Structures are given as C-alpha cells and as structure tokens.
Amino acid sequence: MEVDMVLLDTNFLIVALSGKKPYSEFLKKLIKTKQLVLSVIVVAEFLAGASDEEERAFNSLLRKFGAVPIDLEISQMAALYRKKYSKLKRKVYLPDCLIGATCRINGYELATFDRGGYPMKDLKMGVELSR
C-alpha cells in the first residue's frame, strides 16, 4: 500500500512545533514514517516569524527532509489557480496557490487549518485535524 506524503501548511506547522496535541503527535508520526513534506514557501513563511529556538527546531527538520522547490510546472499551475479563483471573486493568495500546486502536481495531501484559503477542488486534503 502506498503511503501518502503530507505537506504541512505554515499555520499547521506553527501549532505542531509549539507542542500542542494532537498536532505535535501528528507531526512526530509524519517524521517517524518519513511522510513529511515541506515547501519552500512554508520555509520562507515559517522562518520569517520564527524565534531563535523555533528556527533551530525547524532547521533540524529541513536537514532531514529538505524542501520541495517551485519549478515551472508548479508556477504555471499556481498561476492558473490564482486566475481561476480571482475571476470567481475568491480571495486566494499566490503563496497558497503555489503550495496547492505543489501538492496537486506531486500527489501530496495538504494539512492546513485554513481550508478556505485552498478552494481548489483537485487537492487531497484528507488530514482532518481541527483546532
């Protein structure tokens, strides 16, 4: 059976790294089973607001898991998402479109507390942990 890889959105990662259960336990499971995926967008967003201690913990994850880069295919799909939802008068941010496109193209599930920020119907959002 193929195991789904899970990309953590920045909001989810912040809460999980703070030690709050069950999110911290979910993160530990992803680390143990090597199912954790980090996006370069999440890296930038997280580090922009991280304390020194949070940055050290996060850099440890980065050394172990790396981060999925943004390539041309992801950029193009993100642009399509942004264009589509802008026409529908939905507020969707480009970083979220890039994260969504990263998940869609690579077949990752997305763990986020901001489902409204990801109106894309073609994303796998099977992680059902709410705050």
CATH of the domain at 32: 3.40.50.1010
Please indicate, yes or no, if residue 120 is contained in any of the structural domains: no
Q: Residue 126 pLDDT > 90, yes or no?
A: no
Q: Is residue 103 part of a domain?
A: yes
Tell me if residue 94 falls in helix, strand or coil: helix
* Residue 70 domain flag: yes
- Which stretch of 59-68, 82-91, 93-102 has the lowest confidence by average pLDDT? 82-91
pTM, full prediction:
0.91
Task: Tell me the C-alpha distance between 13 and 42, whole Å.
Answer: 9
34 domain residue, yes or no: yes
Enclosing domain of residue 25: 6-115
Do 90 and 119 form a contact (C-beta atoms < 8 A)?
Answer: yes
Q: Using the CB atoms, write b or e for 101-126: b if 16+ within 10 Å.
A: bbbbeeebbbbbbeeebbbbeebeee
Does the residue 93 lie in any domain? Answer: yes
- Would residue 125 count as lying in a domain? no
Q: Is residue 35 part of a domain?
A: yes
- For residue 126, being part of any structural domain is answered with no
Give the total residue count for the chain.
Answer: 131
Q: What is the mean pLDDT of residues 44-64?
A: 94
The answer for residues whose C-beta is within 8 angstroms of residue 111's C-beta and 6 or more apart is 6, 7, 8, 9, 12, 26, 127, 129
Domain count, the chain: 1
